Structure 1
Amino acid sequence: MLADYIHFMKDDFWFIVPALWFIGYACKRTPFIPDWLIVWILLCIGVLASCFFYGWSVRAIADGVIATGIAVFSHQIVKQTSARDQIE
């Protein structure tokens, strides 16, 4: 399923997904940042990074949103798969 989204984003922008994973991990470990705010922080950073590298355009904003979505989605796949025995 993740392979379906690969074609939506520019090839030279894939470095932002692991960077967002790292930033999300750091935010999760920061005690004064609530969990619900982490996704919004990642979205802002993803869009700002995309616009910084490609200029302010609708395509750059869309790439930032897609990169954030892929980072959050792939993190949840790993998290939910590793915790599947604990859920039931």
Structure 2
Amino acid sequence: MEELLYLLPEDFHFIIPALWFIGYACKRTPFIPDWLIVWILLIIGVLAACNLYGWNIRSIAEGVIATGLAVFSHQIVKQTCNRVEKNIREGS
């Protein structure tokens, strides 16, 4: 995971946990469907990047990368925890 953070400047590293928190809040909101959460995070990630560094292609790309890293890292944690829980239930 640490290698993936080299894709972003250090100033963008705070966006990833912020997107995790926003995604968690969206997941707990009953009227937001799951498929829409990724799009909400993408829009917020790009807007945050562009507000930090101006509206240019690089900022947009870094917002997309930050969103991708947030979703990817969340899935790593989620899938790993689900695997461990599944093994415990199955007695493996």
Q: TM-score, normalized by length of structure 1?
A: 0.92
Distance 1:33 1:86 in 2: 27
Tell whether 2:82 aligns with 1:86. Answer: no
Deviation at 1:43, TM superposition (A): 0.2
**Post-superposition CA distance 1:38-84 (Å, at most 9, x none):** 00000000000000000001110011001000100000000000001
Deviation at 1:3, TM superposition (A): 2.5
**How many residue pairs align between the two structures?**
87
Give the aligned partner of residue 15 of structure 2. 16
Q: How does 1:54-69 map to 2 (within 5 A)?
A: 54-69=53-68
Aligned-pair Cα RMSD in Å: 1.4
Distance 1:61 1:9 in 2: 12
Distance 1:59 1:15 in 2: 18
SS of the counterpart of 1:33?
coil
Q: How does 1:1-88 map to 2 (within 5 A)?
A: 2-84=1-83, 85-86=85-86
Distance 1:20 1:59 in 2: 19
Larger Rg: 2
Identify unmatched segments of 5+ residues in structure 2. Answer: none
Distance 1:10 1:77 in 2: 22
